[in-house]
Amino acid sequence: MSEIREIDIPVGATPQKISQMLENFEDVHGERMVVQMGPQHPATHGVLRVELETDGEMIMKATPHIGYLHRCFEKTCESMTWQQVVAYTDRLDYCSSANNNLGYVLACEKMFGIEVSERVQTIRVLVSELNRLASHFIAIGTYGLDIGAWTPFLYLIQEREHILDLFDRLCGGRLLLNYMRIGGLTHDLPDNWLKEVHEYLSYMEGKLDEVNSLLSYNKIFVERLANVAIISEDMCIKYGLTGPNLRGAGKKWDLRKNEPYCGYETYDFDIPVGDGEVGTIGDCWDRYIVRVKECEQSMRIIKQATERLEKMPGDDVLAAIPKSMTKVAPGEIYFRTEHPKGELGFYIVSNGKKFPWRLKCRAPSFSSLSVMSAVSPGLLIADMVALIGSIDIVLGEVDR
């Protein structure tokens, strides 16, 4: 028999709050239904499958299933020479391949004690920051797409295409660069390339404000994201969430500042953090806006790096590349860098031979995704899409 009961739901209550209130009325719950989201779903950013146990529109339990893109990166690397592995790191997080290259080559350089020149370091910073921009543009654009805004995606892809043109001129690849080598780079910058970067920067002036007015502060967008799927700082650290997700939770933490590498300590830039501008600290909107603000900071770094390179005398970028890597120092190392998605770590074990003995990639998206089953109870199904987009996962990196 059904009976009508009144519950006072305060105005502006979050779904979590409502679900807590409903806990007291166990018979109010309907039958639980299992919904499969993915692996073919436009909003899962690839081939993620999430098993949702729902009560009406409310998610009671979410179990992510990964491995649909397990390409055996770690096994393959054990049969590749040290330099060949660089090409495979490209394909980990295919949105930001230069940053993957950087993480790997820096780890190897630290292990084998290779010093590179300042010019090489600056070029590396420049290229990886450009790639960070490209990666964040995809993250922001597709996030709008997930929430239902098609136009910002088109604009952002357009801005990204200009970066890809620069990469195209630089090394022939649009998406996968394969530009860095242990001890240097594949080749020097092409003529006039720095001028083009300058032109790009002046072209980009004010474009991020457009993004903000078109998307960030759009009422519908804010309503969809504010107070949704809050991940606190404590939870971020526990679950290994790093990068923009951790900064979105209000923690001022950036490996470029806290553990500088590649000369990042000499650049002048800020670490944007989430401050709960439209909702609570650590909600989807905060994680999103940190990425937009980070784009600004990346542009500052690019500007400084370009100016430095213009003044710097040219030298041989291939000078420090070891002639032969058939015999290397044995040992093991864990080295981490700040990747657009978070902390990218490489744990490398060398037994002194031609090939890496073991190479483990600690992928930021892998850890970020593991928080999903802890955060999702109490969310609506539509919020699930917002959550997946806000932690910005790339399945190539999750599954490796």
Partner 1 sequence: MTIPEIFNILQEKFPEAELVLEENNPDPIIRAKCEAIADISLLLRDDPDFSFDSLMCLSGVETVEEFQTVYHLYSMLHNHKVTLRAGGTKEEELIVPTVSHIWPTADWHERESFDLFGIKYTDHPDPRRILLPDDWVGYPLRKDYEPQKTWHKIPLTAIDYKEEDNGDES
Partner 2 sequence: MGLIEGRFEPNIIVTSTDAIFNWARSRSIWPLTFGLACCAIEMMATNASRFDLDRFGIFPRPTPRQSDCLLISGTVTAKMGERLVTLYEQMSEPRYVISMGSCANSGGPYCDHGYHVIKGVDQILPVDVYIPGCPPRPEALIDGFLKLRDLIMKETIAKPSA
Residues that bind partner 2 (CB under 8 A): 39-42, 46-47, 67-72, 75-76, 78-79, 87-88, 91, 94-95, 138, 142, 153-155, 157-158, 160-161, 164, 174-176, 395-396
Q: Which is nearer to partner 1, 279 or 345 (CB)?
A: 345
Residue 320 CB partners (closer than 8 Å, separation 6+): 114, 115, 116, 117, 120, 183, 184
Integer Cα distance of 327 and 51 in angstroms: 48
Taking the CA atoms of residue 127, residue 240, residue 366 and residue 151 in that order, the dihedral angle to the nearest 10 degrees is -60
Query: Between 252 and 281, how does the x/- string for binding to partner 1 read (CB under 8 A)?
Result: -x----x-----------------------
Taking the CA atoms of residue 93, residue 97, residue 99 and residue 104 in that order, the dihedral angle to the nearest 10 degrees is 90
Tokens 């770094």 locate to: 301
Integer Cα distance of 204 and 89 in angstroms: 29
Binding site partner of 9, from partner 2, partner 1, none, Cβ cut-off 5-8 A by kind: none
Residues numbered 89 to 118 that lie near partner 1 (CB under 8 A) are 110-111
Residues numbered 350 to 379 that lie near partner 1 (CB under 8 A) are 357-358, 360, 362, 366-367, 369-370, 374
Whether 145 contacts 156, CB under 8 Å? no
Amino acid at the residue 3 = E
Binding site partner of 309, from partner 1, partner 2, none, Cβ cut-off 5-8 A by kind: none
Q: Which is nearer to partner 2, 119 or 160 (CB)?
A: 160
Q: Please name which of 74, 78, 66, 50 lies closest in space to residue 399, comparing C-alpha atoms.
A: 66
Amino acid at the residue 88 = Y
Give rounded-to-5 percent helix, strand, coil for the chain: 50, 10, 40
> What is the helix (H) or strand (E) element at residue 54, kind and residue range?
strand 49-55
Query: Between 314 and 353, how does the x/- string for binding to partner 1 read (CB under 8 A)?
Result: -----------------xxxx-x------x-x-x-x----
Q: Which is nearer to partner 2, 59 or 139 (CB)?
A: 139
Whether 284 contacts 221, CB under 8 Å? no
Binding site partner of 364, from partner 1, partner 2, none, Cβ cut-off 5-8 A by kind: none
Binding site partner of 363, from partner 2, partner 1, none, Cβ cut-off 5-8 A by kind: none
Binding site partner of 239, from partner 2, partner 1, none, Cβ cut-off 5-8 A by kind: partner 1
Residue 158 CB, nearest approach to partner 2 (Å):
4
Residue 400 CB, nearest approach to partner 1 (Å):
8
Residue 231 CB, nearest approach to partner 1 (Å):
12
